Structure 1
């Protein structure tokens, strides 16, 4: 491309940007003057649609829609790659011609279809690379590495083991249900023999789809033999292993200085560990819509960071909030072992902080979509099969779009005199709750009618409880007496949360089920 051609393209794009800016300014003037009608309304919509940031919004949405729709199609699109290349070339040629003719609407439509098919191909290629054919109902003898933190309960431990399939030239993952002892760690190499079973599909729960997000396609429920081979000492494994060990020792320290149910609740709030929580308390949390405070799905982290930003923004300023908040998010990720769900929650929380730093609504939307696109590219299965990702995304969307509208309603109802420490948690909680409740109703079959009240009474105390839990756990790791003293301060906060949950769970019609 010659320098003259480059300058012509640069001038063309500059004229396009100036054209859109002039339309936007004229629409703003019409809106302020109160003039207009259908023509002016369409002009405003046109100007808003063709702003550069809106173009990215549309393209990102088409990409995500392509991935989502492809998850319902049982077809490998990589088999028809010559046809796809031809389609891409036709769409690119159409975009180029329409751009030369200054038909920006058709140009945008062409690029939208390009990103849509890119989404379809991304899912298809990932599915082709990750899907494996396992010998179901057959005995196998495999040697593989534990690639996720073991999930330990009272009687067993679940291990995700990845091993190499030479006949398919792929890595496969199976979920092994091992005895409670001996304990295995992340990055351990083990030899397992047993029968591989296909994940079942129940009437109310699809276990196959649930495991799909972890790239697990088989089960070994009753292994005949498990032999410890060694430990893979790669740098990343050592780092994550150290985080998991610290998290385990931290949980043990909490159990040493707190009694039940406070000990299990504190581990659930800070670490997301739910295995020791009593069934009655778990059911009460479900009824009151407070399960998210013990699930590191990103929903609670997103709301908490938003509340901290809103409450302290006026005192600290945007830059300090961004620095302190980012450090807090990073520390929380490391503290909880950097599991995938926590990392996703941290990304969305970081975007809240970055969006507040920029201070523009449209930037927050695009940052949210950019994060979603990057995470979905890494694992397209999470868009449809990972409820944690969906809750994080919807909660973030609720904070961006719904919470400001609720805040306006509060101001019109003369509620703006409420202290920010009460008003903002209420506004942010209601916004996130309204955004996620359709998904909760669909996924879990229960809708908590008392959730707004329970969240108002409990959620403002969660940041304080997390801080006190951390201080108590670290103190107990250093010295038992020090941890015991800290637990005396923590205990009333946890007791308040438990009593509120148990009291509200007894209210008639607190929740309705399908």
Structure 2
């Protein structure tokens, strides 16, 4: 048993512990028994490696269960929660720690509380809350605010728990339309520096809006900036029903496309592969900063970084272990992601799909010619691999199946690199010279107009999508069948190689 396999089993044990604890309240007695059994096997079977590893896995499983329970207990018993539904409005000093989420009629501010003011006395307090207020005046990342209002517990809407949804972001309570007075951020602070980066993003957004009109402008802003605020509900539904909503979320596919384009470009202009690798990682980090550290993009960047690292050291075959290790690290930092963050589930499954099915789809799509720069076959193989692995989770959470998704993805996904490159070029130029940016926006406008026409046409088909719900048992059955299917295909692939 190799060291990398042992690490894999330990990571899976930790993830399993968090999974069990997120579904069941595990008694302390059982956790203690797992720990004692693990110590017993580890101490008395030191020379029998499989049993030793099994014992350590039991200990790690117990730690996974404990990690979730302790984090949940700390969340539920946070001091700030004592002021939910308080008898009178409370006063707090807080800082905006996330780019404001601007909606059509209001704005959501994620703020970190610094002090609670009671009888003009400041009491140090920690915790994050979500504040819903009017769109104006405008607020920015890093703003320091004095807020007067009533804290509320996030509600439950039928099967959807808003409290669980916000828990993954560490948000303890919500507040609706409080009184807000603003204080300037301290100059030179990290928030002021990051605010300048977000200011640059706003300039890119303005350049897009000046050169294009909706829905082209709103779709492009989502594709290159991760900004979905201006996509109308009508277009969100169209993207969902045609299986193209993933285009508007900066995800693994976007990051991989960017890394591929950057790597190819840097190598083409004379950089060594090692130099191109480090420069690409640096550019991707700056890009993630610019789009506001969106969780989906951060996860995608981590996965892409692992994939690039595997390529660099020549160990692509071990990439699935690296991804599981990364997933375990993310869950160690925030165990609520596994149950409450659909984005985490989709990101993880999408990457696993690419790892296990990418080569299979490449073989099925061998009729597509290989291209040095665009590599259409790779893009389609990656898209279909990810979609197969994420399909059950999408149906379980959103209750529909897009029947036209394979065809719409074939018609549109190959154009995504061109949309991204042309969009970045004209928006960057448009910051400094609006007229030239407008002239350079024509290729992006043409591609986006084609995209919207395709979406409109397929959306109008009566069989575009089916609405139905599935239980978690069907999700489990699907993944068991999929696992068997992948195993059989991989075995067949291995025997073909041996026969050769």
**Distance in 2 (alpha carbons) for counterparts of 1:312 and 1:112:** 45
1:214 aligns with 2:169: yes
Number of aligned residues: 454
- Could you tell me how far 1:84 is from its partner in structure 2? 6.4
Structure-2 residue corresponding to 1:171? 126
Given candidates 105, 113, 116, the residue that maps to 2:61 is: 116
1:384 aligns with 2:334: no
- Could you tell me how far 1:504 is from its partner in structure 2? 1.7
- Could you tell me how far 1:416 is from its partner in structure 2? 6.4
Question: What is the SS of the residue equivalent to 1:71?
Answer: helix
- Could you tell me how far 1:252 is from its partner in structure 2? 1.4
Deviates more, 1:339-348 or 1:283-292: 339-348
Structure-2 residue corresponding to 1:199? 154
Query: Cα 1:187–1:331, aligned 2, differ >3 Å: closer, same or farther?
Result: closer
Structure-1 residue corresponding to 2:471? none
Structure-2 residue corresponding to 1:148? 98
1:159 aligns with 2:123: no
- Could you tell me how far 1:423 is from its partner in structure 2? 2.3
- Deviation sequence 1:58-91 (CA, Å, 0-9, x none): 11011011112222345796xx8xx968964662
In 2, are the aligned partners of 1:310 and 1:424 still within 8 Å (CA)?
Answer: no
Structure-2 residue corresponding to 1:266? 220
Given candidates 180, 194, 201, the residue that maps to 2:135 is: 180
Structure-1 residue corresponding to 2:473? none
Query: Cα 1:417–1:240, aligned 2, differ >3 Å: closer, same or farther?
Result: closer
Structure-1 residue corresponding to 2:476? none
Structure-2 residue corresponding to 1:135? 83
Query: Cα 1:76–1:199, aligned 2, differ >3 Å: closer, same or farther?
Result: farther
- Could you tell me how far 1:238 is from its partner in structure 2? 2.2
**Distance in 2 (alpha carbons) for counterparts of 1:74 and 1:86:** 15
1:357 aligns with 2:312: yes
Given candidates 92, 96, 103, the residue that maps to 2:39 is: 92
- Deviation sequence 1:164-215 (CA, Å, 0-9, x none): 5779985122211111111111122211112222111112422111111111
**Distance in 1 (alpha carbons) for counterparts of 2:395 and 2:263:** 29
Question: What is the SS of the residue equivalent to 2:170?
Answer: coil
1:105 aligns with 2:58: no
Structure-2 residue corresponding to 1:501? 455
In 2, are the aligned partners of 1:243 and 1:335 still within 8 Å (CA)?
Answer: yes
Question: What is the SS of the residue equivalent to 2:38?
Answer: helix
Deviates more, 1:86-95 or 1:181-190: 86-95
Q: So what's the TM-score if we normalise by structure 1?
A: 0.81
In 1, are the aligned partners of 2:42 and 2:52 still within 8 Å (CA)?
Answer: yes
Question: What is the SS of the residue equivalent to 1:175?
Answer: strand
Runs (5+) with no aligned partner, structure 1: 1-49
RMSD: 3.0
**Distance in 2 (alpha carbons) for counterparts of 1:154 and 1:292:** 22
Deviates more, 1:57-66 or 1:119-128: 119-128
Within a 5 Å distance, the mapping from 1:63-82 to structure 2 comes to 63-74=14-25
Runs (5+) with no aligned partner, structure 2: 469-500
Structure-2 residue corresponding to 1:395? 350
- Could you tell me how far 1:317 is from its partner in structure 2? 8.9
- Deviation sequence 1:233-262 (CA, Å, 0-9, x none): 564312321221111121112111212221
- Deviation sequence 1:353-411 (CA, Å, 0-9, x none): 12222333442012101211222222111122112221111111001002222333445
Q: So what's the TM-score if we normalise by structure 2?
A: 0.83
In 2, are the aligned partners of 1:395 and 1:436 still within 8 Å (CA)?
Answer: yes
In 2, are the aligned partners of 1:196 and 1:218 still within 8 Å (CA)?
Answer: yes
Question: What is the SS of the residue equivalent to 2:213?
Answer: coil
**Distance in 1 (alpha carbons) for counterparts of 2:21 and 2:59:** 14
**Distance in 1 (alpha carbons) for counterparts of 2:411 and 2:243:** 12
